[in-house]
Amino acid sequence: MNTKELFKESLEDVSPEIKAELDLSFAIADKIGRILTERGLSQKEFARKMKKTEAEVSRWLTGRHNFTIRTIARISVALDVQLLEM
């Protein structure tokens, strides 16, 4: 079995809730990444602004971080954007 087939098979075993959680995490990470790029902000500068380590910001941008509401709110304020819309 090749890697692509194995990946597809693995996805079939993931619950809809986990898929939705991953989709949201990746969407948030993508949006943060786009904003940083548009503004010419490095991860290091963003980390300093957030009072976080560069490693933590790097994890955020992978899309695999479980963002809390507090973290989303802090990022929204720091970047002066609305990360989530209700």
Query: Is residue 40, in this structure, part of any structural domain at all?
Result: yes
Query: Is residue 9, in this structure, part of any structural domain at all?
Result: no
Query: Is residue 69, in this structure, part of any structural domain at all?
Result: yes
Query: Is residue 7, in this structure, part of any structural domain at all?
Result: no
Q: Name residue 71's amino acid.
A: T
Nearest to 29 by CA among 66, 80, 77: 66
Query: Is residue 84, in this structure, part of any structural domain at all?
Result: no
Count structural domains, the chain. 1
Query: Is residue 10, in this structure, part of any structural domain at all?
Result: no
Task: Assign 83 to helix, strand or coil.
Answer: coil
Output the six-digit token pair for 49.
């602004």
Give the Cα separation of 59 and 42 in Å (integer): 14
Q: Which residue has the higher pLDDT, 3 or 27?
A: 27
28: containing domain: 15-79
pTM, to two decimals: 0.81
Nearest to 32 by CA among 74, 86, 75: 75
Query: Is residue 67, in this structure, part of any structural domain at all?
Result: yes
Mean pLDDT of 34-62: 96
pLDDT(61) > 90:
yes
pLDDT(79) > 70:
yes
- Read off the pLDDT band of 1 (50, 70, 90): low
Q: Which residue has the higher pLDDT, 64 or 11?
A: 64
Give the Cα separation of 31 and 83 in Å (integer): 7
- CATH code for the domain in which residue 30 is found: 1.10.260.40
